[in-house]
Amino acid sequence: MHVISNGNAQTTGTEPAYQLNLGYTVLISAIAAMGGLLFGYDWVVIGGAKPFYEPYFHVTSEAQIGWANSCALLGCLLGSILSGIFSDRIGRKKLLIVSALLFGVSSIATGWAHTFDAFIAWRIVGGVAIGIASNVSPTYIAEVAPAQWRGRLVALNQLTIVVGILMAQIVNLQIAGQIPDGAGTEAIRASWQGQYGWRWMFTAVAVPALIFFLCAFLVPESPRWLIKTGKRERALRILQKIGGTAYADAEASDVESSLARERTESGTWCFRTRVAGSRSCRTTAMERNECHLQLRGGDLSRRRL
């Protein structure tokens, strides 16, 4: 029987009994899932700001309109690729902090941009934050969550994405207010919404981004990444906090076995590069899947708008 501490649920199975600190696990998973909340907000907020920033920047051509709406996709693509590379090099926790910082800085800079080029540049930076968060947040949760809770806790990231989308719609609605029917471009541009309202739509996400940034320092590093980089003792201490000594030993052994299989099995998808006459293979499934997620997500987002 699995006895779950800090919770009311009990599950039975053939595995040994572990005292799981569910409260702690949910807390660090929820902090990581804030990346999903910022993802959802930042992705959708531009829809509500569009009627106001376009008159402000005198955006009239179809090319400019399309570029302003889709430029964040470029950042998403770049962010998902970079996160796949750097999460293995510097760890999941540091990338969570980086994504929170990028969300906060890009939201303020986008909101208070005074030229169309600056607006585009900071939207791309915000897209990089989205690409990183959409990759690292669910990965981190999956690597800290016990097996029997992993699916439910990873789903928490999907929930926060939806909450972020809802938050963006509510903020947009409250700031936009009532625009008179038949208001022309110049009237909208001269209004408070046309001068400042749309700026606060973007800037509002700086508040949860700051909370995410501060809380990300409190979460532990991914035990899997620590074991992979030879820091087994640190990983054991974290796993012990999640489920006790027996759980930590068993989980560490499972991770080591999994990593050993990864090193010996040749992946179907890999890039091979020649370095000094030798062949090296790097599996890039994470980057490939996240690129697909960004492109597919962009398609769905455009359908909603």
Q: List the Cα angle 241/246/252 in 5-degree steps.
A: 75
What pLDDT is recorded for position 15? Answer: 54
List phi, psi (to 5°) of 275.
-130, 115
pLDDT digits (tens, 9 = 90+) for 205-256: 999 999 999 999 999 999 999 999 999 999 999 999 999 999 999 999 999 9
Q: Encoding tokens for residue 53?
A: 């920033």
As a whole number of angstroms, the distance between CA 172 and CA 289 comes to 31
Residue 105: exposed, middle, or buried by beta-carbon count in 10 A (0-12, 13-18, 19+)? middle
pLDDT digits (tens, 9 = 90+) for 125-176: 999 999 999 999 999 999 999 999 999 999 999 999 999 999 999 999 999 9
**DSSP letter (8 states) at residue 108:** H
Tell me the mean pLDDT in the region 190-195: 92
The pTM assigned to this predicted structure is: 0.81
Tell me the mean pLDDT in the region 112-120: 96
pLDDT confidence bin for 285, thresholds 50/70/90:
very low
Q: Which domains does the chain have, with CATH numbers?
A: 23-219+287-304 (1.20.1250.20), 228-286 (no CATH)
Residue 272, SS3 per DSSP: strand
As a whole number of angstroms, the distance between CA 76 and CA 82 comes to 10
CA-based radius of gyration for the chain: 22
